Structure 1
Amino acid sequence: MNRQAFFTYLTETDPRLFAGGMTAAQRAGLEVKLDVWARWYAADHPVTYLAAALGQIHRETGGRMEPVLEAFAPDRATSAERLQKAFDAGRLSWVKSPYWLTDETGRHPVGGGDIQLTHRRNYVNAEEKLRQRFGVSVGLAEDYDLILDPVVSAHVAFSGMIEGWFRPCKLGDFCTADGLDYAAARDIVNGDAGLIGAEIARNCQIFEAALKTAGADIDFGPPQGPVDWPSPERRTHFTRIALYFQRLAGGRG
């Protein structure tokens, strides 16, 4: 795969997803995803699956292409505050009960990652599924902020869509004689395909074209950077960052 051709396509040939150009952070986020795919998924799955994931991630991260917390907050407490304000103002009419309140662990299970995980049960499920698929324990059930680790988050996005971790459907359910139905596959992540399916399909089609222009469908190639699972040191690093932002949020209160 010619990585430069991939990025040139997204920024010059068809720049609709990155109309203002691609930032260093956006490129780095995409590079990690390409490397994770190259190391663990490319040999067994078509590039249309990667395009489907990238198209959803673009929507889920507001185009940032890196793991984020819901409402683009710096920490979970702030995310919960923003969600509560929106709920009180009637802007979250589809939410039946606030899922962002502290759970039995004292944490806010707000959305986080490339594909937004919400509710404790989904963090616990992702931890268990990663253990089953890869034989690793990353600690998501104990520290939700590890979903912000770019390698962990990419795996949750890719494996979650391939195996159907989020809702009772998976990518294989949307394969047709004409290809992957990207719009309908929005249902893997959220049941709002009727509202934003066309946007998702556009995103995925652009990423698919970029990947195929780069030759990813012929020879994806090896990863170009380290994409190891987070070490205990990296886990501690993410915990420190989370606590730092929580202290800042507390100081504002």
Structure 2
Amino acid sequence: MVIDRPAFFRHLEENGEGLFADGVTEAQKRGLSCKLDVWDAFYAAGHPWVFLAAALGQMHWETGGRLEPVLEAFAENRRQSAEKLQAAYDAGRLAWVKTPYWLPDESGQIAVGGGDIQLTHRRNYVFAEQRLAERFGRSFGLDADYDRILDPAISAHVAFAGMIEGWFRPCKLGDFLREDGTLDYRAARDIVNGDTGRIGDRIEAHCKTYEAAILASLREND
């Protein structure tokens, strides 16, 4: 299954007002096009298209609609991100954080969240590097340089492979695939974060918007 790009973007322009109030910007098109390129080349043949819809919906939320890799708190660099997180922590707005993860780690780097799906902590950058190296037989450099997650193609691989294999939490996309081939988008939020009760309905709406655009592109390919 290869996404018909003109049909995909035309559907989002005409029917995606919930996500694209001002239309799909050129930056958003670039971001989505990169994700679709990675999906088509490396994941489409082995996985159902509902996985793509689920991933795009989650990435839309995680990037604040930018659809390109971002640093946590939408900071310009990791040091600024760490400063913002420390200020929020000091103000009591990060009560769930037991140990600040935005301090320089043993590598001297700052492992704040980064990417289309936010990686935090050195162990997760190292793990992502190991799994991608196993999958593709080459280094991606994520352990040596955390900012490699800001490369759009690498970030897309981390998002797709991570959600398919269950890197982020103890569940994966296949766990939410129903017998009829549909996917429980709301419950699948748990793949990325344990906040389904708070934002699960919004994630589901995001995913369904992308699902409709994918279906529209498939119909035009028939």
Class of the TM-score when normalised by the shorter of the 2 chains: over 0.9
Regions of 4+ moved over 2 Å: 216-219
CA distance in 2, matches of 1:64, 1:7: 15
Partner of 1:76 in structure 2? Answer: 78
Distance 1:209 1:140 in 2: 34
**Pairing partner for 1:213 from 192, 213, 216:** 216
Q: Which runs of 5+ in 1 are unaligned?
A: 220-253
Deviation at 1:13, TM superposition (A): 2.0
Instruction: Provide the rounded CA distance (Å) in 1 between the counterparts of 2:127 and 2:105.
Output: 16
Name the structure 2 match of 1:119.
121
Q: Is the 8 A contact 1:100 1:109 kept in 2?
A: yes
SS of equivalent residue, structure 2 residue 13: helix
Contact 1:11 1:22 in 2 (8 A): yes
AA aligned to 1:92 is L
CA distance in 1, matches of 2:55, 2:138: 22
User: 1:21 deviation in Å?
Assistant: 1.7
Identical aligned residues as a percent: 65
CA distance in 2, matches of 1:30, 1:14: 14
CA distance 1:216–1:54, change in 2 (3 Å): farther
Q: Which runs of 5+ in 2 are unaligned?
A: none
Equivalent positions of 1:1-253 (< 5 A) are 1-178=3-180, 179-215=182-218
1:189: how far off?
Answer: 0.6
CA contact (8 A) 2:8 2:217 kept: yes
Rounded Cα–Cα distance in structure 2 between residues aligned with 1:27 and 1:11: 11
Deviates more, 1:142-151 or 1:19-28: 19-28
Residues of 2 paired with 1:93 and 1:198: CA distance? 24
Query: Which TM-score applies when normalising by structure 2?
Result: 0.95
1:76-131 Cα shifts (integer Å, max 9, x gaps): 00000001111111222222221111111111100000000000000000000001
The verdict on how the C-alpha distance between 1:177 and 1:74 changes in structure 2, with shifts beyond 3 A counting, is same
CA RMSD of aligned residues (A): 1.4
How far apart are residue 177 of structure 1 and its match? 3.0
